[in-house]
Amino acid sequence: MDTVMEVKGLAKTFTLHQQHGVELNVLQSLDFSLLAGECMLLHGRSGAGKSTLLRTLYGNYLPAAGSIRVRHQGKMVEMLGSEPRQTLELRRTTIGYVSQFLRVIPRVSCLDVVMEPARARGMALDKATARAEALLSRLGIPQRLWTLAPGTFSGGEQQRVNIARSFMVHWPILLLDEPTASLDDANRNVVIELIKEALRAGSALIAISHDADTRNAIADRYLDMTPKELSHAI
């Protein structure tokens, strides 16, 4: 299978200038590679840097050192030091990111929020609408909410709108930060199905999940993120 992501010597440090310049070394010399169609779970306690790693891979956090190479339109490209517009181009077609939290924009309807990733790639309006409606139905968002802005939705509804949005298009690489947290069983199973469909379609996934059922259902392998100074204790 094809390698879609190659990470070497990745490090992430936070320097808190407003708090006496404290330095936090959250990620240190991390190496892994990822194949198409593979699901890798991040393993480690709370605070081990799992979410930090996902955000760093998405270009949201700036790495301190190392290399993140990603297969983008048939070529391996380096994300470290890339221009903002190159990172945005990667995010439009290659790397997707799902968190539990929806960033709502006033006045933009639920359907438009969900369709956006597909529209940004030029999918026709009627096709995008049909796909968005199908996803919202599967995730149990009632039709009467589709034309409303999600700002007033419950937390669980916003989370499902966010998941629908993320599965609108095919992502060669998809980063999932607790996609099933706080969902009921029925909805969690729908999300697991969506994840499996994405894997069958060749997406490579990196996921964080504190829910054992979800982990067992989707994981092909685990990446141990226990900090080195703690590893002897386990």
- Which tokens hold the place of 231? 């590893």
The residue with tokens 């690489």 is 173
Name the phi and psi angles at 11, rounded to 5: -135, 145
Instruction: CB nearer to other proteins: give 88 or 148.
Output: 88
Q: How far is the CB of 115 from other proteins (least distance, A)?
A: 13
In 3D, which of 184, 121, 202, 102 has the Cα closest to residue 131?
121
Q: Positive or negative, the Cα torsion across 149, 152, 154, 156?
A: positive
d(CA 117, CA 174): 13
| Binding footprint of other proteins, residue count (CB under 8 A) | 18
In 3D, which of 62, 115, 59 has the Cα closest to residue 85?
59
Instruction: CB nearer to other proteins: give 85 or 144.
Output: 85
Q: How far is the CB of 18 from other proteins (least distance, A)?
A: 5
In 3D, which of 172, 200, 210 has the Cα closest to residue 3?
172
Instruction: CB nearer to other proteins: give 74 or 106.
Output: 106
Determine the interface stretch with other proteins among 31-39, 85-93, 167-175, 179-187 (rule: CB under 8 A). 85-93
Binding mask 43-72 for other proteins (x = CB under 8 A): ------------x---xxxx----------
Which of 28, 87, 93, 226 touches other proteins (CB under 8 A)? 87
Q: How far is the CB of 59 from other proteins (least distance, A)?
A: 6
SS3 (DSSP) at 164: helix
> Which residues of this protein are in contact with other proteins, per CB under 8 A?
14-18, 55, 59-62, 84-85, 87-88, 105-108
